[in-house]
Amino acid sequence: MAGTKEIRMKIRSVQNTRKITKAMEMVAASKMKKSQDRMRATRPYVSRALQIAMHVSHASAEYRHPFLEKRASVKRVGVIVITTDKGLCGSLNTNVLRMMLQQYKEWRAAGIEADFCAVGGKGLGFIQRMGGNVVSQAVQIGDRAKLEQLIGPVKVLLDKYIAGEIDEVHAFFTRFFNTMRQDPRHGTLIPIPQEFIGEHGEVIRSAVKEGGWDYIYEPDARAVLDAVMTRYAEALVLQLVAESIASEQSARMVAMKAASDNAENLIDELTLIYNKSRQAAITKEISEIVGGAAAV
């Protein structure tokens, strides 16, 4: 059994760790509410933008934007991987990266290559270690994502799609449901998907049938669709990053609370061991004194 001095040092070390995890839990809790409010505030806008894009994709327009055209064959895809810059948030990053890796293996088995856009330092490091082709990256996003931080890296994949270098653009991210639940998700960004998951987990599909009608564009279809489709892609990526940030703060708060509780339990166990060790030492000393007195 370790001596009382070593046990006291262990208790002090765990107490210091508990102070850190408790402070991190409180910081994450304060940031969590703000990040959730920002994420929920933009959900209706992005949901409506998706519905408009799905609606436009069914029109029989003379001008078809490249984002509306589904390629006959898929030989190369663009992949946006959204993770966190920091750790200590449980299995949040592990779950989304495991999903991405599994899909990547399926693509490779089917002869499909992939170009990656990494949003977040953890995802960037993982993709580099697995040998993926990173064509753009956005790290150090902070606690509040800004569109100007994301436009450049994402535009690299969008330009590749328009140029015909890639045939689809996919996104891997973490969707926020509540403080205790954040699920990894995989969705198609381009071409325009024909269904998506709503705010309450429901599947939303386009109710519009193909052809036979069209919009009236002003000044012309090309100018309007180019602007709308670009705004659609920007808004969707920004929303996915906001979902990831809200999930990160919630997961970190839960993880740090669990760490603090475990540290408390460990302190109790070490205190019990310390008391037993101290009592055993006192009993031994008393026995030696009594034995010495009896010998005299």
User: What would the mean pLDDT of 100-127 be, rounded to a whole number?
Assistant: 92
Q: Are 25 and 260 in contact (CB under 8 A)?
A: yes
Give the 3-state secondary structure of 77-114: EEEEEECCCCCCCCCHHHHHHHHHHHHHHHHHHCCCEE
pLDDT the model gives residue 4? 80
pLDDT band at 202 (very low <50, low <70, confident <90, very high): low
> Residue 41's pLDDT is what?
87
Quote the CA–CA distance of 77 and 135 in Å, as a whole number.
12
In this structure, the answer to whether residues 287 and 192 fall within a common structural domain is no
For residue 179, tell me if it sits in a domain.
Answer: yes
Task: Write out pLDDT tens, residues 28-86.
Answer: 988 888 888 888 888 888 888 887 777 777 776 677 788 888 888 889 999 999 999 98
Residue carrying structure tokens 């990256």: 137
- Using alpha carbons only, what angle is made at residue 126 by residues 121 and 128, rounded to the nearest 5 degrees? 95
Note the pLDDT of residue 196: 57
Torsion sign over Cα 230, 231, 234, 237:
negative
> Would the pLDDT of 199 be above 60?
no
Burial of 212 (0-12, 13-18, 19+ CB in 10 A): exposed
Any domain includes 151: yes
Residues 124 and 97 reside in one and the same domain: yes
* 119-133 tens-digit pLDDT: 999 999 999 998 889
What is the value of pTM for the model shown? 0.82
> What is the amino acid identity at position 200?
H
Rounded percentage of the chain residues whose pLDDT exceeds 90: 34
φ/ψ (deg, to 5) at 275: -65, -40
In a domain, 296, yes or no: no
Domain presence at residue 186: yes
Non-local CB neighbours of 46 within 8 Å, separated by 6+ positions: 235, 236, 239
The answer to whether 232 touches 50, Cβ cutoff 8 Å, is yes
User: By mean pLDDT, which of 47-51, 112-116, 212-216 is the weakest?
Assistant: 212-216
Check whether residue 237 and residue 201 sit in a common domain: yes
Task: Give the pLDDT of residue 280.
Answer: 82
pLDDT band at 201 (very low <50, low <70, confident <90, very high): low
Averaged confidence pLDDT in the chain:
85
Q: What's residue 60's pLDDT?
A: 63
Assign 118 a pLDDT band (cuts: 50, 70, 90). very high
103 and 118 in a single domain? The answer is yes
Residue 281 vs residue 260, higher pLDDT: 260
Query: Which of 28, 35, 132 minimizes the C-alpha distance to 77?
Result: 132
Q: What percent of the chain has pLDDT over 70?
A: 91
Instruction: Please indicate, yes or no, whether residues 91 and 214 belong to a single structural domain of this protein.
Output: yes
Residues 10, 107: one domain? no
Closest CA to 221 of 108, 59, 99: 59
Q: What is the pLDDT of residue 212?
A: 54
Instruction: Tell me which of 219, 235, 251 is where a domain ends.
Output: 251
The answer to whether the beta carbons of residues 172 and 80 sit under 8 Å apart is yes
Residues 182, 138 share a domain: yes
More confident position, 293 or 167: 167
Look at residue 277 and tell me if it is in a domain.
Answer: yes
Q: Is residue 259 located within the same domain as residue 126?
A: no
| Whether pLDDT at 228 is above 70 | yes
**Looking at 53-57, 230-234, 245-249, which range is the least confident one?**
53-57
108-112, 162-166, 215-219: segment of lowest average pLDDT: 215-219
Residues 177, 264, single domain; the answer is no
Please tell me whether residues 103 and 214 are part of one structural domain: yes
Check whether 191 has a pLDDT greater than 80: yes
Burial class for 102, CB neighbours closer than 10 Å (0-12, 13-18, 19+):
exposed
Residues 160, 151: Cα–Cα separation, whole Å: 14
User: CA 272 to CA 243: how far, in whole Å?
Assistant: 44
Please indicate, yes or no, whether residues 216 and 280 belong to a single structural domain of this protein. no
Whether residue 230 is found in the same domain as residue 283: no
| CATH assignment at residue 265 | 1.10.287.80
CATH assignment of the domain containing 45: 3.40.1380.10
Query: Which residues constitute the domain of residue 181?
Result: 30-251
Q: What local confidence, expressed as pLDDT, does residue 198 receive?
A: 55
| Residue 81: closest CA among 68, 64, 99 | 99
Contacts of 205 (CB under 8 A, 6+ apart): 194, 195
What is the number of domains present in the chain? 2
